[in-house]
Structure 1
Amino acid sequence: MKISIITVCYNSAKTIEKTFKSVENQTYNNIEYIVVDGGSKDTTLEIVEKYEKIVSKSVSEPDKGLYDAMNKGIKMATGDLVGILNSDDIFTDDHVLENIANFHLQNNVDASVGNIIQFNEEGKTVRKYSAKNWNPEKLKIGFMPAHPAIFFKRELFDKFGDYHLDFKIGADYELITRFFLQHNISWKFSDITTTSMLIGGVSSSGFSSYQLISKEIKKALSRNNIKFSYLKVQLRGFWKIIGFLKKK
């Protein structure tokens, strides 16, 4: 089973070497590693060249943003499975892709859904984001599993399309909604903690970002003809707090 891993980057010299090392250290050998660079001006491309032994395919050219770059990577992919590894993230351990491959060999599903760990700039773990209690119905109230913890069969993109570029930060939400709710793909919780992610980013901080992603969640659900409550989506932060308190 070949696994295609896609890393999108732009001026990522400060972080991307750790990302490359986490791929290099994987015990699984049948990896197709694809790097899509947006035309970096720093030393990112020098680092890509340094790791040419593990980089199967790469391209460096201007793009229309993160999701356009992901689409380029998906079109270049030839693996049975596709996963995303961001340029400031790492696999949690050396056995992640071996575990993913074994899980998919044992479970004939279109997608596996796992967990991630979030860490701050000091390297301290601040949160484990588990999909244990997630199911596709929760998309209707604004909850999605962590994008980097999902491994899709590559053929799904051929059947159901790529990331839609008219979303600023919610194209992953729309794609997951389209795959899981509109097309009812088969899936299973893997309980594999795949990725350690640097906390922050374009869609995870600030009131304005909260409002934007709320708008795009509603747009994603509407586009896929999914019935939902505008109020529940808007108040999803409240449901998160309630869930956290219940765990306590």
Structure 2
Amino acid sequence: MTEALVTVAVPSYNQGKYLDTALSSIFSQNLPVEVFVADGGSTDNSVEIIKSWEGRLAGWRSAVDDGQAAAINECINKGSAPFVCWINSDDYFLESGLVRLVNELLTNESAPAAYGRAWNFREKDSKRVPVWVEEFSEKRLAVRCIISQPATLIRRQSWDAVGGLDVSRHMAMDYDLWWKLYRVGGPLRFLDEFVAVNRDHGETKTNTRRVAHYAEAMEVVRKYHGKLPLKWWLIQPYAVWFKTLLNKLESRK
């Protein structure tokens, strides 16, 4: 049996309608992977979907847990591959997307992680628009999260060095992780290619808890950057308010 190159964590809760696509996108990468699914005790068809993939999974469970960050840490800690990542059950990799990220870290041995571009698939109008992703710099990272989580791969050594995800974070856990990786390992490596798709639908935490997400993101910037750029006080609050209002209006239709 070929030794796994990537440990992939798949946290999920009542996402059965998306889960099969997520798992299929992982196993179609033509890479030796070990995949762990952490289901939070779903009441939909998630367990049925998981069992259909059971023969290819390194492990899975379905039970109430301590949240998304804890579930991801749990999965990655069970694995041993030199590279790690997680893909939420409503997101998925593009063809060869994970392969490109692996190659990027293999050829840039000093980088703690690599990230590419991602599409944002809006379910309300079935349109794909690019997620805002940029070349890494601390100045830009302090202004906004310039890294798309589904399009990211992390060196296990770096993951272990920062202790994985902060389980006290429930909204901006990925933003917090990028800062930690940068502080211990230097700039994250940017791959200017599309490698993954992020689904934008009404049930995501970003849409349903936008204000809480914004507040936690501000805490992250203060912690690692020492101060908040003016943008957090002037432009972003109005954008958050406007998008929250739009989501409420959409939910009433």
The interval holding the TM-score normalised by the smaller chain is: 0.7 to 0.9
Indicate how the Cα distance of structure 1 residues 123 and 232 shifts in structure 2: closer, same or farther if over 3 A, else same. closer
Q: What amino acid maps onto 1:188 in structure 2?
A: R
Aligned counterpart in structure 2 of residue 136 of structure 1, from 135, 138, 147: 138
Q: What amino acid maps onto 2:213 in structure 1?
A: I
Other-structure match for 1:228: 227
Whole-angstrom distance in 2 between the partners of 1:88 and 1:140: 27
Contact 2:116 2:192 in 1 (8 A): yes
Partner SS for 1:183 = helix
Other-structure match for 1:23: 26
Aligned counterpart in structure 1 of residue 84 of structure 2, from 62, 82, 88: 82
Q: How far apart are 1:130 and its partner, in Å?
A: 4.9
Q: What amino acid maps onto 1:192 in structure 2?
A: E
Q: List per-residue Cα deviations over 1:20-63 (Å, max 9, x = no partner).
A: 221232222x1111111112222211211111232122122211
Partner SS for 1:114 = strand
Whole-angstrom distance in 2 between the partners of 1:218 and 1:113: 22
Contact 1:12 1:44 in 2 (8 A): yes
Higher helix residue share:
2
Percent identical among aligned pairs is 21
Whole-angstrom distance in 2 between the partners of 1:236 and 1:85: 30
Could you say what the CA RMSD is over the residues aligned between the two structures, in angstroms? Answer: 2.5
Other-structure match for 1:192: 193
Q: TM-score when scaled to structure 2?
A: 0.82
> Is structure 2 residue 67 aligned with structure 1 residue 65?
yes
Partner SS for 2:105 = helix
Whole-angstrom distance in 2 between the partners of 1:158 and 1:133: 24
Show the 5 A alignment for 1:93-112. Answer: 93=95, 95-108=96-109, 109-112=111-114
Other-structure match for 2:40: 38
Whole-angstrom distance in 2 between the partners of 1:230 and 1:131: 19
Show the 5 A alignment for 1:111-130. Answer: 111-121=113-123, 124-130=126-132
Whole-angstrom distance in 2 between the partners of 1:104 and 1:123: 35
Indicate how the Cα distance of structure 1 residues 184 and 156 shifts in structure 2: closer, same or farther if over 3 A, else same. closer
Whole-angstrom distance in 1 between the partners of 2:124 and 2:56: 28
Q: How far apart are 1:3 and its partner, in Å?
A: 0.9
Structure 2: which 5+ runs fail to align?
240-253
Partner SS for 1:32 = strand
Other-structure match for 1:245: none
Q: How far apart are 1:135 and its partner, in Å?
A: 2.2
Partner SS for 1:82 = strand
Matched residue count: 234
Contact 2:113 2:181 in 1 (8 A): no
Other-structure match for 1:176: 178
Other-structure match for 2:214: 214
> Is structure 2 residue 21 aligned with structure 1 residue 13?
no
